[in-house]
Structure 1
Amino acid sequence: MNITNLRAGELPGTYVVTEPVTDTELMRLAKLLAKRRLARGRKIDSPGEVHRCLQTLLMDYEHEVFGILMLDNRHRIIQFSEMFRGTINSASVYPREVVKEALAQNAAAVILVHNHPSGEPEPSQADRQITDRIKQALDTVEVRVLDHVVVGHEGTVSFAERGWC
């Protein structure tokens, strides 16, 4: 299936699929739409929409992936980067590399994200610790951490919504 099999629905942000599709094709299409919503220059207006896009991009990996969504000083998207890949229950994350990438992209702020292949988005103590380490490292170069989103099959957990960022 390709994007030509879609047409706009009656309501903004809705689509009509013009022929039968498989689950795999729907997931590919959902990822394509999520990437478009996280495209360079788009302003983040709704944390919920960002969380849904990040969930769509990361929820079906069989291994842990850690990424950063880099933003300019007006919270417009610069780039989304998958930085680290791990195993079924962990990924090695290096704050130094996060700082290097944020500076290379001239980011003023970032949203951290990683998935839990188990499907359960509840953050671990290790998740909280690495967030604190990354936040401290980015603070030294004046890049704000706006959130850390943990993605599972059934939803997301936002550190910002819990008051942890």
Structure 2
Amino acid sequence: MKAKLLKPLLEVSTFNEIEIYYKRPIFNQNRIVKNSKDSERLLRAFIDDKRIDYKEFFWVMLLSNANQVIGISEIAMGNTSSVPVNIKEIHQLTLLANASAIIVAHNHPSGKLSPSESDKSLTKKLKNTSKLFDVTLLDHLILTSEDFISFSDNHWI
């Protein structure tokens, strides 16, 4: 009896290697965040102030171990009363930028500065998940066109 050659059950396929590329910004050219007012000033320079009363937006500021700003990114755009935030995307940016700390912010088009239960819940979740990556959530700011409030200044973080 002749033996039949069986085709392999699985075909061999190739996968692309994931490459991570990071170039540290020039050390003495980065802005340093020392307090919530610094964060607010840098965020306001980044965001479009014509949209702040229009709908909610969510931003993340990425910082080095020396609290130097590596970058700022707009994570999400919502509607007049909420913004969906993908925590996974925040952590992806944090890891790709090799950030040691983050500051998050969003705006309230209503002008009301007090945080909602959803804002508090998100902050707690983000603080806990950031610890898994040895990243510190330094603050969560709520901005309006006139003012801002800081979770850190109010000991909510």
Same fold? TM cut 0.5: yes
Consecutive unaligned residues in structure 2, runs of 5 or more: 1-28
The equivalences for 1:63-102 within 5 A come to 63-102=55-94
Quickly say closer, same or farther: Cα 1:58–1:123, change in 2 above 3 A.
farther
Higher relative contact order (CA 8 A, sep 6+): 2
The equivalences for 1:9-88 within 5 A come to 41-55=30-44, 57=47, 59-61=49-51, 62-88=54-80
Give, in angstroms, the shift of residue 153 of structure 1: 2.0
Aligned residue in 1 for 2:109: 117
Consecutive unaligned residues in structure 1, runs of 5 or more: 1-39
Q: Does 1:144 align with 2:136?
A: yes
Using the size of structure 2 for normalisation, the TM-score is 0.74
Considering only aligned residues, what root-mean-square deviation do their CA atoms show, in Å?
1.6
Larger Rg: 2
Aligned residue in 1 for 2:124: 132
Find runs of 4+ consecutive structure 1 residues off by over 4 angstroms. Answer: none
Greater helix percent: which structure? 1
Amino acid at match of 1:49: D
Identical pairs, percent? 30
Amino acid at match of 1:139: K
Q: Report the 3-state secondary structure (helix = DSSP H, G, I; strand = E; otherwise coil) of the residue aligned with 2:39.
A: helix
> Separation in 2 of the partners of 1:87 and 1:120?
15
Quickly say closer, same or farther: Cα 1:60–1:128, change in 2 above 3 A.
farther
Kept in 2: contact 1:55–1:155 (CA 8 A)? no
Aligned residues: 126
Comparing 122-131 with 43-52, greater Cα deviation is found at 43-52
Give, in angstroms, the shift of residue 52 of structure 1: 3.1
